[in-house]
Amino acid sequence: MAPETRVLDRLVPSRIRGRWAQRRSGLLARLTLMLAVIGPGVITANVDNDAGGITTYTLAGARFGYSLLWTLLPITLALIVIQEMCARMGVVTGKGLADLIREQFGVRVTFYIMAALLVTNLANTIAEFAGVAAALEIFGVSKYVSVPAAALFVWWLIVYGTYRRVENVFLVACLFYVAYVVSGLLAHPPWGEVLVRMVVPEFHWRADYVVMLVGLVGTTIAPWMQFYLQSAVVEKGVRLADYRYTWYDVIVGCFIAVAVAMFIMVACAATLHQSHIVVETAQDAAIALAPLAGKYCAALFALGLFTASLFAASVLPLSTAYYVCEGFGWETGIDKKLREAPHFFGLYTALIVLGGLFILIPRFPLLGVMYVSQVLNGILLPFVLIFILLLVNRRDLMGRYVNTYLYNVVAWGTSAVMIGLTLVMVGALLLGY
Amino acid sequence: MTDSDLIPEDDRLLADLQHGFLFLSSLLDKPVHDADDVYVGRLYDLAVSVASVFPPVVAFLVERGRLDPFPLSGRWTDVADVSGPIIRLGVGMRALTPSRLDTPGEVLVRETLLDKQIVDVNGAKVVRVNDLHFLKLGACDLRLVHVDVGTRGLVRRMGWERHIDAVVRRLVPRARYLGAERLIRWNYVQPLALDDRAHSIRLSVMQRQLRELHPADIAEILTDLDLHDRASMFRSLDTETAADALAEVDDPRIQSQLLDTLPEEQAADILEEMQPDEAADLLGELPPEKSTALLREMDRDEAEDVRELLTYEPDTAGGMMTTDLVAVADELTVTQTLDRLRELAPDIENIYYVFVVDAAGRLVGVLNLRQLILAEPSTPVREIMIDDPVRVHHTDSRDSVAEIVEKYDLLALPVVDDLGVLIGMITVDDVVSHIAKQAWHRKLGY
């Protein structure tokens, strides 16, 4: 080493104070890096437990007791595999999912996928506003007031760019799910039975059971989540060398999502199912929190449902507008002017306005739409998954980061099972089982 | 409506002289028959030679069946007719070879352009290609002249052009949609997905145009691109352009990412080219090992300046200042000062203020350029300078700096240490960008 360089080396630690001193080495530095990379997976998981999610898990527990618990383990496996593929694709290619589908499969395929996604996501947006309406109805606020106000608020959040500031508020609000954990524990479910039914599969040849199964998968592994996660990973600019932190992030997110699902189902099975309550309104669903909150359960439930719905309602229309525009090559970005990105703002506004308008239809079944939107997710999932799989296995895109054999088995298996379930569901509904 | 109605004025002249235009989408997937009218397959892709200003089509690929992975390729000169519903070859099927094209400088348009992102150098934007527009000279001579990035191109690709046109014409006869193709001339197109060889050929043409863009425009293009394209475009810039563009990129994460894509030596060259305060800001964002390595790679004097600046907290006057300034001793005359200024000016951003220091380096006064030019050449600067000018201490906060600059309407503000020694100055542009950023961050809610 040249003497000059050595002098400089010695100079660095003593002279470079200030901003360098803030950068710690060793464990702390690694932790900082981890916190910087962590995020997309955990955030995605929490957005995923939205109005549709809470409703679907509640209905699953209330109607079918513990008999759907076994699905959670395979769903966790599929969720991890699918989310990991998208995160990996984001890091390796540096491109969003819509971007890749357009570049590799052309305009037609992009158009049909985007059209299907737009319809499904509109249904999901309606579900989020339904969540807002249902939650505030518990407090006696009419939906004709709450929904327009929520729609305006969400629109304002993004257009005036305050979203990032409230994102953390939303994330903190996700602690609401802890209420289900506590409530589930206080309800003293038969833990032995719960454990057994977590691992022993059962199947009922009834249309409503199959529909619920599709809805459960659809809400936990929502198609739009995959687009959202991949874009978020790309946005973060995660480097291949730091990929394992993203991997942890995705895994942690998946476990959070499924753990919440499990506790909601257990809490509902131990309360609602136990006392044969048919859940028709949010008021009924709130009874699952009674072991924890007693007579305040309705207020607690309403608060949780409200923040979860509002969180998802601010993310969902925005991300939908983003990747539809990405696929078609239209200008995007909240920092653009309306004239610069008309498609983007048009789509975004249309989703919010339409989503809100549906709810304003008198006697609109709020809980019903939250549930049905998740079944739609489940139907669309295998098709999106097929394209994800075709992309992630291409060596010219992914190099040596293509899927391993085991991954392909799990993911193709998930697609096949979901297509099979959808066919069984349609058949059963047509035959009227 | 004929094709030529849709074409910008200057191209219409060309079109009148010749035979018109056609779109790639009208050719792709057309059946291909050989000279004996035997069906060969469907047209899959065209290759153009990018060495020309408007690249001619030189070869083609025919896909034999959906599941057949090996397309046939042939030279474009073997094609006899492209205007009918089928593409007719002038040779037998045996003249085609079952191989991929691998000629340097020839680019497959479907693979590298269609549906991909390009940089529109003229509009300084990143856009997606919906279709390609060829000029047809004679029977089969096709030249790539435009890329289509408009919504009509999308509709055409879906195969709905006729129907949608009919509907739109009925509903909104004057719709802008009907008249306006969004075509970008090929000479303003910078493709991103080219392989290395084709890339270098194309690049020599493009670099000149890129250099003419404002650095802020280049920065915006870089920000709009995805990770890999961003890196490859940044690598293709020359050092000076790269330094200017890098300084204009707003997002510190993207800045450090870009610097990361270069070999250390090149990254160091770019840092040397930047203003020391900008370089320091950038280095402050990098992990310590990386910035130490880069500093070691940099020219010694430049590195020393940057290192100095790095010792200050980013949100203080010290963190905002630059060391590029003109300071003269108080015993100099006006002539001597002007000589010194002439000598230093080429390397210094802001020469409108000359700071006067005493033997110990303490700030004692300031002169502006106007005073210097109007003064008697032999006057000592001590006599005409403004004594005891407004200054800030290097630990003063950003906000107080902004306040002072605003209050006194200054172009540059000197920064001193505990002993009153002049250590740098803050130029008004750094303050303005701070104020703007603050307003911006408030908007984004950071």
| DSSP per-residue codes, B361-407 | -BEEEEEEHHHHHHS-TTSBHHHHSEES---EETTSBHHHHHHHHHH
Q: Which of A208-217, A292-301, B39-48, B270-279 has the lowest mean pLDDT?
A: A292-301
Whether B144 maps to a domain, the answer reads yes
Whether A13 maps to a domain, the answer reads no
Q: How many domains does chain A have?
A: 1
Q: Which of B115, B310, B311 sits opposite A103 (nearest CB)?
A: B115
Q: What is the maximal distance between C-alpha atoms in chain B?
A: 98
Q: Which of A18-32, A272-286, A381-395, B11-25 has the lowest mean pLDDT?
A: A18-32
What is the average pLDDT across A13-19?
30
Model confidence at B154: pLDDT above 80: yes
Q: Could you report the per-residue pLDDT of B74-105, keeping only the tens digit for each?
A: 888 888 888 888 888 888 888 888 876 677 77
Whether B206 maps to a domain, the answer reads no
Q: Return the pLDDT at B167.
A: 85
Q: What is the maximal distance between C-alpha atoms in chain A?
A: 86
Answer yes or no: do B362 and B397 share one domain.
yes
Q: Return the pLDDT at A426.
A: 83
Which residue has better confidence, A127 or B171?
A: A127
Q: Return the pLDDT at A18.
A: 32
Answer yes or no: do B19 and B126 share one domain.
yes
For chain B, the distance separating the N- and C-terminal CA atoms, rounded to the nearest angstrom, is 52
Residue A6 pLDDT level (bands cut at 50, 70, 90): very low
**Does B284 contact A at CB distance below 8 Å?**
yes
Look up the CATH number of the domain holding residue A316. 1.20.1740.10
Residue A412 pLDDT level (bands cut at 50, 70, 90): very high
Whether A222 maps to a domain, the answer reads yes
Determine the distance in angstroms separating the CA of A420 from the nearest CA of chain B, rounded to an integer: 26
Taking CB atoms and an 8 Å limit, are B227 and A234 in contact across chains?
Answer: yes
With beta carbons under 8 A apart, name residues in chain B contacting A17. 311
Answer yes or no: do B23 and B143 share one domain.
yes
Answer yes or no: do B307 and B334 share one domain.
no
Model confidence at A181: pLDDT above 60: yes
Q: Is B419 helix (H, G, I), strand (E, B) or coil?
A: coil
DSSP structure string for A362-425: TT--HHHHHHHHHHHHHHHHHHHHHHHHHHHT-HHHHGGGSPPHHHHHHHHHHHHHHHHHHHHH
Model confidence at A340: pLDDT above 80: no
Residue A112 pLDDT level (bands cut at 50, 70, 90): very high
Q: Return the pLDDT at A84.
A: 92
Q: Which of A96, A106, A164 sits opposite B446 (nearest CB)?
A: A164
Q: Return the pLDDT at A390.
A: 92
Residue A23 pLDDT level (bands cut at 50, 70, 90): very low
Q: Return the pLDDT at B5.
A: 41
Q: Which of A84-98, A211-225, B348-362 has the lowest mean pLDDT?
A: B348-362
Q: Return the pLDDT at A2.
A: 33
What is the average pLDDT across B99-122?
82
Q: Is B54 helix (H, G, I), strand (E, B) or coil?
A: coil
Percent of chain A topping pLDDT 90: 22
Model confidence at B265: pLDDT above 70: yes
> Considering chain B, what is the average pLDDT of its residues?
80
Q: Return the pLDDT at A76.
A: 92
Which residue has better confidence, B180 or B427?
A: B427
Model confidence at B443: pLDDT above 60: no
Answer yes or no: do B355 and B307 share one domain.
no
Read off φ and ψ for residue B30, nearest 5 degrees. -75, 145
Residue A102 pLDDT level (bands cut at 50, 70, 90): very high
Distance from C-alpha of B382 to C-alpha of A342, rounded to nearest angstrom: 61
Q: How many domains does chain B have?
A: 3
**Any alpha helices (H) in A160-281, and if so which ranges?**
163-173, 177-186, 191-199, 207-220, 223-236, 243-268
Whether B319 maps to a domain, the answer reads no
Residue B353 pLDDT level (bands cut at 50, 70, 90): confident
Q: Return the pLDDT at A17.
A: 29
Q: Return the pLDDT at A352.
A: 93
With beta carbons under 8 A apart, name residues in chain A contacting B128. 102, 328-329
Domain of A333 in residue numbering reads as: 36-431
Question: What pTM, to 2 d.p., does this model score?
Answer: 0.76
Instruction: Examine the fold and report which residue of B285, B311, B337 is the final residue of a domain before the chain moves on.
Output: B311
Look up the CATH number of the domain holding residue B274. 1.25.60.10
Q: What number of C-beta contacts closer than 8 Å exist between A and B?
A: 94
Q: Return the pLDDT at B293.
A: 84
| Contact in structure between A65 and A276 (CB atoms under 8 Å) | no
Instruction: Examine the fold and report which residue of B249, B281, B311 is the final residue of a domain before the chain moves on.
Output: B311
Look up the CATH number of the domain holding residue B428. 3.10.580.10
Q: What is the dihedral of CA A23, A27, A28, A29, to 10 degrees?
A: 40
Determine the distance in angstroms separating the CA of B3 from the nearest CA of chain A, rounded to an integer: 22
What is the average pLDDT across B120-146?
85
CB atoms under 10 Å from CB of B304, counted, come to: 16
Answer yes or no: do B72 and B166 share one domain.
yes
Which site among A1, A97, A107, A344 would you substitute to test the B interface, given the most B Cβ atoms closer than 10 Å to its Cβ? Answer: A107
Whether A412 maps to a domain, the answer reads yes
Model confidence at A245: pLDDT above 50: yes
**Does B115 contact A at CB distance below 8 Å?**
yes
- Give every CB contact of residue B405 below 8 A, 6+ residues apart in sequence: B413, B426, B428, B431
Q: Return the pLDDT at B203.
A: 59
Taking CB atoms and an 8 Å limit, are A20 and B310 in contact across chains?
Answer: yes
Whether B317 maps to a domain, the answer reads no
Q: Return the pLDDT at A431.
A: 76
Model confidence at B166: pLDDT above 80: yes
Answer yes or no: do B425 and B301 share one domain.
no
What is the average pLDDT across B417-436?
80
Relative to beta strand B183-185, strand B141-148 is: antiparallel
Q: Return the pLDDT at A40.
A: 76
Model confidence at A354: pLDDT above 90: yes
Domain of B13 in residue numbering reads as: 3-187
Answer yes or no: do B407 and B341 share one domain.
yes
Residue B306 pLDDT level (bands cut at 50, 70, 90): confident
- This complex has an ipTM of 0.75
Q: Which of A6-15, A222-231, A259-268, B420-429 has the lowest mean pLDDT?
A: A6-15
Q: Return the pLDDT at B64.
A: 85
Answer yes or no: do B17 and B56 share one domain.
yes
Determine the distance in angstroms separating the CA of B152 from the nearest CA of chain A, rounded to an integer: 12
Distance from C-alpha of B308 to C-alpha of B396, rounded to nearest angstrom: 17
Any idea what the Cα angle at residue A316 is, between residues B224 and A125, rounded to 5°?
145
Model confidence at A375: pLDDT above 80: yes
